Every structure is written in structure tokens, then in C-alpha cells.
Structure 1
Amino acid sequence: MLEDQTASPGQEPEDGTAAASRIPARTPAVDPGAEHRRPESSPRGPEGYPGGYAVVDVETTGLARHDRIVSAAVYRLDAWGEVEDHWYSTVNPQRDPGPTWIHGLTTEDLADAPLFTEIADDLATRLDGRVLVAHNAVFDWSMIAREYARARRTPPVRQRLCTIALAKQLSLPLPNHKLESLAAHYGVCQRRAHHALDDARVLAEAFRPSLHLAVQQAVRLPLHACRPLTEWPEGPESPGPYGGAVNAGPWGGRRSRGAPGPSVYGYGYGWRRSRKRPSCPYPNPGRYEPGGRLMQGMRVAISGDTSIERELLEDRATEAGLHISSHVSRLTSLLVTNDPGSLTSKVVKAQAYGTPVLDEPTFERLLEDVAPASGR
């Protein structure tokens, strides 16, 4: 069900549930000391920082690539982190809703909820022209990117910011990097954990003072480029992790409106399920020479978003005789990234080691003509 599409931050809630999901636009969650106060001399925003943010949270049927979104929320913030409005919607995933004991949404709750294709425009409107902000942003962005890919749409997101990375960059004294710890640090009350709208509210309130602290310390925000998916694997249907087939169960009459999406892994898995690859049979010939050919045995690392699903790209490289590595070392032949200006550990290490860097289109083109291993 679509709710609060253009809710005014200062609007009075109609009931207790709504009250838990709304925050006043200009009531800071912490004591408004000088370090958290918006500088009067810069009303348009801090110089060199983004002009606006979309704080996002999605709840899903699980954590794997083939899982679906069951609810989404967005808090739009201005350049100083002040709330402009918020939006929330449940989403019919056209399959088992997954861990209802976590997100609280049952099959019955979602039976009459809109499909993702029906909220895609509303969500895009709220993301357009803004930096997507989320706690563990790679997960939220990946789920959103995949939903838009399924809908044959392109999400209007160019950059994302992870508040976990920002907390580390600011050296916040947190016991861990859970959202509840970040909220407690800034005195933000978390009312309904794992409810998309309340989690987005909590993160919006915690992000504001973090942003002000970053401006005060002249910290470079950990922004990463977002690449829409153009090619991805869709696995076969498999038994659902919660009993019965994934496609089984009552769908409230909405099942006929689209093919239910498969879910291969349970909720306990991480976003990228680890896969044990066979050892590369070829020796490492050393670093890639810019302008030359790839050679079998070269050690390749990949960082950041790729238009081709990472798993597919890695499989193609492996089939071509390359060695896919999960990290960058002095032995790495090249790094593939579409975001060479990011501060990921792989990019930083590649810069330190002088490792050659290629973008995805160039790497994909070179995969078409990989030289055989020396002496083969």
C-alpha cells in the first residue's frame, strides 16, 4: 500500500503508527551545539558537497540476488541534511515474503500492495538528482537496481553514500556499525526496527549531524558511482527456504500480473554468496600492459558497481583463463573499476602499487581476445 507520498515533515500524524514514521523537518535529534548547527553563512549548502540526498531503506524477502523488495521508504534531504519530505510504500514481491518475523509483512499484508513497476515512477521522482544514502548502501542500491532492471527501467541514481563508511571516516566512537549504534550515538529514538519508514527516519536524523561534522572537518564524503544493471542472471525456480515452492502460496489475485521472481538462497546468506572457484591452471604472467592484450593467468580484481552482474563478469573472466582475486596485492595484474576516484580499499591499494586500472567496457572488449598462456 502506498502511503505518505508527499507527507510534509511538520504535518501532524493521524494515529500512533504514523507518528512513529514522521519527524519534524527542523528538530535535531541531538543537542544543537555549534558542531551540528547549519552555518548561517552558507544557506545554499556546503561548497563541494552534493546538493541533496535521498535517505533510503528497503525491506526484502531475503539478502540474495534473486530476492525482492517488500517495502521501500525515502526521506528527501536538502544540502544540509534537513528533511524536505518523506515517502513509503509496501511492494508485492510476487513470491514468499520471506522473514516476516523481521520486517513484519505477511503474504496477506502484501496481497493488494502495488507491484514494483507501479511504484517505480514515484520512487524515481524521489531519487532523481540526489545522492542515495543508506546504511550498508551497496545492499539497498543493489536491490533497487535489480528491481529497475527487471522492470526494464533505468533508476535515476548516479552516486550513493554508505553511512557505515562515513562513520568510519569520521572515526565515530561506535561499539559496532549497526544502525542502532549510530542512532544511539546521536540520541535518535528507534521505534520500529526493520520497518522501512522508521529505519529511514532514524538514518535521516543520524545522517544530518554526521554530514555537519564532515563539513566541519572538511572530510571528503565516501561517494561511490552507481551503475544500472544491463545484464544479470536469473536463476531457476527452487524450493523456498520457508517451506514449499517459492511460487506457492496465496497471492491475493495479483499473481497473474507477472511471473513470480525466483529466490535461490535463504535470508541467512550475505548479498554476494561466496563461491569456491577452481584454481587457475595458468601461471601469472605479471601486470597488464596498457594498450596490450590480456593473457591467461593474469590476476584480476574488480571493484565497485558493474553494469554486467559481477558474478557473470567474473565467470566470463574465469572461462577466458584469468584468475579472479578478491583483493589487490603486488601480484595483481590489473584492477577493473568504473569508479577510479572512489576510496575503496582495492582502488587505494591499486594506486599505491601502481596497478593498471581498466574500466568495465574496456575489460569486456579485451575478454574477447585473451592471449594464450606463455609456453602453452
Structure 2
Amino acid sequence: MLEDQTAFPGEPEDRTAAAGRIPAQSPAVGSAAGPAWPDGYPRGYAVVDVETTGLARDDRIVSAAVYRLDARGEVEDHWYSTVNPQRDPGPTWIHGLTTEDLADAPLFTEIADDLATRLDGRVLVAHNAVFDWSMIAREYARAQRTPPVRQRLCTIALAKQLSLPLPNHKLESLAAHYGVSQQRAHHALDDARVLAEAFRPSLHLAVQQAVRLPLHACRPLSEWPEGPGAESGGFFSGRRGWGSRPYGQGWRRSRRRPACPYPNPGRYEPDGRLVQGMRVAISGDTSVDRELLEDRAIEAGLHISSHVSRLTSLLVTNDPDSLTSKVVKAQAYGTPVLDEAAFSHLLRDVAPAPAR
């Protein structure tokens, strides 16, 4: 069910208007009270929250909300919809949506256009943005569509850059810091409202401190593994055809990567071949699902590392200008960097390890 209002059932109508207003938490920017607005900052934002059937790669979205903000964080409009996941709704004790609530909700394919309209041309903003973006990217991939998102901003990363005095990086702590009240935690629309209200003063503080926003490139998925029943799309068909599965149980069990049997031959040489035993780290989004890409590298005889050190042979990233810890360390160590396309091409012909 689509909603274009912030008030929840049974709440006073005047709360709708109040929810769209963001209190001024910082001095005006671009006046005598603060610096001019940076030309390099984004022109608009889409503050997003999605609730899901779980946390695994084959889980589905059950509700989504978007607050559209202008360049300075002022609310333009907001949107909300429940989504029929075509399976059990998962942790109803968290998001509050039951099988009955979602039985007549639109499928993701039926809201994909509306959601795309609200994301188009804007930076996606979310709390733990990699999760919300990953769920959205997978839904669009299943629908054989490309989401119109090119960059995302995580408000956790922004809070760290601003050195906000938070006890932890939960949304409720960020909200409390700015005096924003939560009405219904884990309801997508209210979580998006709360985040929008907290993001505006953070954005203005970033301008005052001349902080570079932690923007990361978003890569739509072109290849990914599905869950049990992948042949049929990884879920039970039919608007009312629900499956059953314990919350949080993913299609692929947690695993340890096998030890690489080859010694590290050293750094990758530009325009050369990959050599078995090279230590490879991956940072940021990949168009091929990260675990699939890692599996292919391991099968080729490479060592996949979760961090960058002086021993790292190569960093693979599609976003070399980002400020992730891996990119920063690679720059400091002079570690060679390749994008995903070049790395995937080199995986086709990995040189055997030198004879001991």
C-alpha cells in the first residue's frame, strides 16, 4: 500500500506537517553566520530506509521509505510503501509487518518505477547505507532493472568524520544527539524521517568544518547468487505463496576461506599477469556479487585478504577516490590498484606459482 503522508493510523493529522519540517540545528550557512555552500556538494539527497525479511543475501524488502531533500537538506517530499516479498515476512517482532499485512501489498516490480523516480539524480543517504543499497540493488537486479543511483552516503561514516560525541553509532543515538524524537522505531517511514532530521544539521556541520562528504560509488548488480530454489528466482511464486525460513538464515552458511597453498610472489606488476599466491583485497561495490568474485579469485589460486597491508599485492576497487580504509592504506603503501573489469579479465589467465 502506497502512502504519501507521514502520519500513522490513529495519529493526529497535524503530525503530518510537523514530520516534514526539520528544525534548524545549526547556524545558517552561506550568510554572515557561516561559509558559502560548497559547489562540489550534491544537489539533492534521497534519505532511504528499508525493512526486510532478514539480513541475508536472498532476503527481500517488505517496506521502503524515501525522504527527498534539496542540496541544503530541506525536505521536498516523502513516500512510503509496503512490499509483498512473496515469502514469509521474517522478523515481524522488529518491523511489525505480518503475512496478513503484506498479502495485498504491491510486488517490488510494481513499485520499482515510483522508487526509481525518487532516487533518480540524488545521493542515497542511509544509516549503514551499504545494507540498504545492497537490498535495493538486489531487488532491482531480480526485476531485471537498473536502479538510478550513482552514489551513496552513510550517516554512520559522516558522524565519524564529524567526530560527533555519540555513545555508539545507532540511529537512536544520532537522533538523541540532535533532539529528534522517534515515534515508531523500525518503521521505514519513521526511520527515514528521523534520519532526514538528523542528516540536515550534520550536513550543515560538514559545510562549516569543510569536511569532504563520505560519498561512495554505487554499482548495480549484474551477477549474483540466489538462495534455495534459484532456478525459480529464489522465492516462492504467487502473490500469496509464502515460504518459511528462520530469520537470518542465509543461503550460504558462514565459511572460512581455505588457506592459499601458494607463497606470496609479491606485488602485481602493471600490465602484467596475476600470479598464484598474490594477496588481493577488494574494496567497495562490485557488479559481480562480492562472494562470487572472491570465490573465482580463490579458485584461480589467489589469496583473498580482508585488509590491506604492506604485503598486499593488489587492491581491486571501482571507487579509487573514496576514503575507505583499504583505499587510504593502499595509497600510503603504494599498493597497485585495478578496477573490477580489469581484475576479472586477468582472472581468466592467472600465471602458475613459481616452482619452489
Return the TM-score normalized by structure 1. Answer: 0.87
Q: 1-side partners of 2:103 and 2:14: how far apart?
A: 25
CA offsets per residue over residues 156-195 of structure 1, 9 Å max, x none? 0000000000000000000000000000000000010000
Q: Which residue of 1 aligns with 2:301?
A: 321
CA separation of 1:264 and 1:301: change in aligned 2, threshold 3 A: farther
- CA displacement 1:208-228 (0-9 Å, x = unmatched): 000000000100000000000
What is residue 188 of structure 1 aligned with on the other side? Answer: 180
Residue 364 of structure 1 aligns with an amino acid whose one-letter code is S
Unaligned runs of 5+ in 1: 239-245
Deviation readout 1:88-112 (Å, 9 max, x if unpaired) = 0000000010000000000000000
1:286 equivalent in structure 2? 266
Secondary structure at the residue paired with 1:302?
A: strand
Q: Which residue of structure 2 lines up, in the alignment, with residue 16 of structure 1?
A: 11
CA distance in structure 2 between the aligned counterparts of 1:263 and 1:231, rounded to whole angstroms: 26
1:47 Cα deviation from its structure 2 partner: 1.9
Mapped contact 2:223–2:287 kept (Cα < 8 A): yes
Q: Give 1:235 deviation, angstroms.
A: 2.3
Distance in 2, Cα, partners of 1:156 & 1:106 = 30
Do 1:299 and 1:333's aligned partners in 2 also have CA atoms closer than 8 Å?
A: yes
Quick check: 2:88–2:245 contact (8 Å CA) kept in 1?
Answer: no
The equivalent residue for 1:213 is 205
CA RMSD of aligned residues (A): 2.7
| Aligned residue identity for 1:353 | Y
- What residue identity is the alignment partner of 2:258? P
Q: Percent identity?
A: 81
Q: What is the rounded CA distance, in whole Å, between the counterparts of 1:309 and 1:21 in structure 2?
A: 40
Instruction: Kindly report which structure 2 residues correspond to 1:78-89, keeping only aligned pairs within 5 A, or say none.
Output: 78-89=70-81
**Cα separation, 2, equivalents of 1:95 and 1:304:** 30
Cα gap change, 1:272 to 1:44, in 2 (>3 Å) = farther
Report the alpha carbon displacement of residue 21 of structure 1 after superposing the two structures with TM: 6.3
Q: Distance in 1 between matches of 2:224 and 2:262?
A: 28
Q: 1:102 aligns with which of 91, 94, 110?
A: 94
Give distance in 2, aligned partners of 1:120 and 1:290: 41
Paired position in structure 2 for 1:39: 30
One-letter amino acid of the structure 2 residue matched with residue 295 of structure 1: V
Matched, 1:166 2:158: yes
Residue 53 of structure 1 is matched in structure 2 by: 45
Contact 2:37–2:207 (Cα < 8 Å) also in 1: no
1:315 aligns to what SS in structure 2?
Answer: helix
Structure 1 residues 373, 33: CA separation in 2 closer, same or farther (over 3 Å shift)?
Answer: closer
Query: Would the alpha carbon gap of residues 213 and 276 (structure 1) be closer, same or farther in structure 2, given more than 3 Å must change?
Result: same
Question: CA 1:33–1:354 in structure 2 vs 1: closer, same or farther (change >3 Å)?
Answer: closer
* 1:75 to 2:67 alignment: yes
| Pair 1:127-2:119 in alignment | yes
CA distance in 2, matches of 1:336, 1:150: 26
For structure 2, list consecutive stretches of 5 or more residues without a partner in the other structure: none
Distance in 2 of aligned mates of 1:229 and 1:19: 41
Conserved 8 A contact 2:90-2:246: no
Deviations 1:201-244 (A, max 9, x none): 00000000000000001000000000000000012249xxxxxx
- Does residue 366 (structure 1) correspond to residue 356 (structure 2)? The answer is no
Contact 1:137 1:162 in 2 (8 A): yes
What is the one-letter code of the residue matched to 1:358? L
What is aligned with 2:239?
Answer: 254
User: Is structure 2 residue 221 aligned with structure 1 residue 236?
Assistant: no
TM-score (norm: length of structure 2) = 0.92
Tell me which residue corresponds to 1:241: none
Equivalent position of 2:275 in the other structure: 295
Query: What SS does the aligned partner of 2:62 have?
Result: strand
Note closer, same or farther for the CA distance 1:83–1:107 as it changes in structure 2 (3 Å cut).
same
> Matched residues in 2 for 1:348 and 1:312: separation?
25
Deviating more after overlay: 103-112 vs 14-23:
14-23
Note if contact 1:45-1:51 (Cα within 8 Å) is conserved in structure 2.
no
Q: Deviations over 1:283-330 (max 9, x none)?
A: 000000010000000000000000000010000000000000000001
SS of the residue corresponding to residue 16 of structure 1 reads: coil
Question: How many angstroms apart in 1 are the aligned matches of 2:340 and 2:282?
Answer: 9
Asked if 2 retains the 8 angstrom alpha-carbon contact of 1:13 and 1:22, the reply is no
273 and 162 in structure 1: CA distance in 2 versus 1, 3 angstrom threshold = farther
Give the letter for the 2:264 counterpart.
N
State whether residues 150 and 219 of structure 2, in contact with CA within 8 Å, keep that contact through their aligned partners in structure 1: yes
Check 1:143–1:23 CA distance in 2 against 1; reply closer, same or farther (3 A cut): farther
